[in-house]
Amino acid sequence: MQKNTENIEILEDKARAEKLFSKQELQSYETKQNEIPSDYFEKFEAKILNDIASLNKKNKGIFTIPKWGQLAIAASFFTIIASTYILIQSNNHKSDVAINISIQEIATAEIDAYVSENEALAEIDWQAEINKEGKNLENLNAHLIKDSNNTQ
């Protein structure tokens, strides 16, 4: 029923247009628009499919990561950073313990021996420093005496 009414309306509208231009003229306008190269639609179909294939290739060329992939990358990155931090921390702790243990494990006799061996070197150094300071003091005294003599 509705379809019939629609069809009647369409025919009425067409009739109004055909009052301005004849049906033949309107039809020949359409015929003119229908003039297309032969095999156009077959070629068009092939062309479109070709365009789409190259479009797909282009899109495949662009490296896209799905959301779950992005999350996986972020998680593994975080894991690497966290485990590196933990590893460094435990290594530092281990080396402190190692130093403490090694000092505690050295026998007192060994420490004494080390100190007495290096005592001579330390003595030499100290003696050289004292001699140097002594010479400086002597020079200073000589200068002071000269100055006091001059003023007198």
Interface ranges with other proteins (CB under 8 A): 6, 9-10, 13-14, 16-17, 20-22, 25-26, 28-30, 32-37, 40-41, 44-45, 47-49, 51-52, 55
Smaller CB separation from other proteins, 30 or 105: 30
Nearer to other proteins, 4 or 91 (CB): 4
DSSP per residue, 13-70: HHHHHHHHS-HHHHHHHHHHHT---TTHHHHHHHHHHHHHHHHHHHHHHS----HHHH
- Cβ–Cβ < 8 Å for 104, 97: no
Q: Write down the least CB distance from residue 31 to other proteins, Å.
A: 11
Nearer to other proteins, 40 or 114 (CB): 40
Q: How far is the CB of 93 from other proteins (least distance, A)?
A: 55
What minimum distance in Å lies between the beta carbon of 72 and other proteins? Answer: 23
CB of 91 to other proteins, least distance (A): 51
* Cα 29 versus chain centre, distance: 64
Report DSSP letters for 80-121, one per residue: HHHHHHHHHHHHHHHHHHHHHHHHHHS-HHHHHHHHHHHHHH
Q: Which of 23, 43, 19 is nearest to 31 (CA)?
A: 23
Q: How far is 11 from 9, CA to CA, in rounded Å?
A: 5
Query: Nearer Cβ to other proteins, position 3 or 94?
Result: 3
Shortest Cβ 51–other proteins spacing (Å): 6
Closer to other proteins by CB, 13 or 147: give it. 13
